[in-house]
Amino acid sequence: MLLLDYTQVQYCQVKGPNKTLSGLIYNGNTFIKAKSFAKEELEAAIKECREEYLDHPERTNIPTLLIKEKDSVGIWMQDNRYKLDGTAVATPADQVIESKSNLDTSRISIRQLALQMRSPESGLEIKTRRYKIKLYQRCFLGNEAIDWIVKQSKVSRSDALVIGQKMIDKKIFHHLVDEHGFKDEPLFYRFYEDEGKSIWTDKLV
């Protein structure tokens, strides 16, 4: 595992067998993002990278990078099935991050998007969920929120992660026990407006 700053790698669009997506080039090899963390969760990212990627029997031989980006920390795995898209020019990382920031602030209203996310007709599936023996009322999952933002706003998953974190920063929703930022994982989150609502108005899983 190498711990790098985003200025040390080259971000680009890459083509795989069936799709084109965002990737990066380092030392002539192509890397695809495997997981993202909020920027303040560097230690958690290092721990997970070691446990889930470096010590994993099927992943231990795959070169892995941990990239400190402007708004997040990413785990990137080498995947040379993807090649640089000849129609897209590789772009320095700081320009890519700036582009994401412009997209988030100029085209997307965070609070309007949050209202749509809570819509009973077309928003997220908000319901009571069970973890082990405990029930958690009116929750949604982080990875399902990413799916919804990507579909609704026509952005990448990394952009959606930034948008969701901004919602947390603006106190729109939060991780149930406030142990995590916004993650592309099946973690439980709740809108502050739903705090204290009755379990009897909820669906149960």
Domain stop point among 92, 122, 141: 92
Would you place residue 197 in the very low, low, confident or very high pLDDT band (cuts 50, 70, 90)? Answer: low
| 102, part of any domain | no
| Whole-angstrom distance, CA of residue 73 vs CA of residue 32 | 14
Q: Is residue 8 part of a domain?
A: yes
Q: What is the pLDDT of residue 95?
A: 40
Per-residue pLDDT at 144 exceeds 70: yes
With beta carbons less than 8 A apart as the criterion, state whether 63 and 78 touch.
yes
Same domain, 117 and 194: yes
Q: How many alpha carbons fall within 13 Å on the CB side of residue 7?
A: 0
pLDDT tens column, 69-99: 877 888 888 988 888 765 444 444 434 333 3
Final residue of a structural domain among 66, 92, 118? 92
**182 within 8 A of 167, measured Cβ to Cβ:** yes
Give mean pLDDT, residues 145-151: 92
pLDDT, tens only, 38-51? 888 888 888 888 88
Work out how many domains the chain is built from and give that number: 2
**158, 72 contact by CB (below 8 A):** yes
Print the domain residue range for 158.
108-201
In a domain, 31, yes or no: yes
182 or 52, higher pLDDT: 182
User: Is 75 part of a structural domain of the chain?
Assistant: yes
Distance in angstroms (rounded) separating the CA atoms of residues 10 and 25: 5
At 78, which CATH number?
A: 3.30.200
Which CATH number covers residue 176? 1.10.10.10
pLDDT score recorded for residue 24: 85
Give the pTM: 0.49
